[in-house]
Amino acid sequence: MTTVDSKETEGRQKEDSNKLTVYAPTVEDKDKLYGNIKHDAVNHPSHYTRGKIEVIDFIEDQQLPYHLGNVIKYIARAGYKGDKLEDLKKARWYLDRYINEVMGNGTL
């Protein structure tokens, strides 16, 4: 078995000792094929950027407290990051905790 160094083959063809043609596409090749896809998992995760505004922008604009912000966050991303039911249960957990605080039964 021959190991091919991706730096050595990036963007061009190379024949190994078994005469197998190997091709490793460049970033430019991938952009041409798939379009210039930008994914920023830290600053603008796709599960929070659907629609016209990001979830965090709405939460900050409305000056929502932590627990209600999390309710909005988990509802907005439900089904787009991980398990939908799990996100809805998380939203409910934060909402129940906030309701208990409003009723005077919480520990916030």
From the centroid of its chain, how far is CA 51?
A: 15
Q: Are 78 and 84 in contact (CB under 8 A)?
A: yes
Residue 9, exposed/middle/buried by CB under 10 A (0-12, 13-18, 19+)?
Answer: middle
**Amino acid at position 6, single letter:** S
Distance set, CA 59 to CA 64, 67, 70, 74 (Å): 6, 11, 9, 12
Handedness of CA 88, 84, 34, 38 (dihedral sign): positive
pLDDT tens-place values along the chain, 108 residues long: 444 454 544 454 555 555 656 566 666 665 666 565 555 665 665 655 667 788 889 999 999 999 999 999 999 989 888 899 999 999 999 999 999 999 998 666
| pTM, two decimal places | 0.55
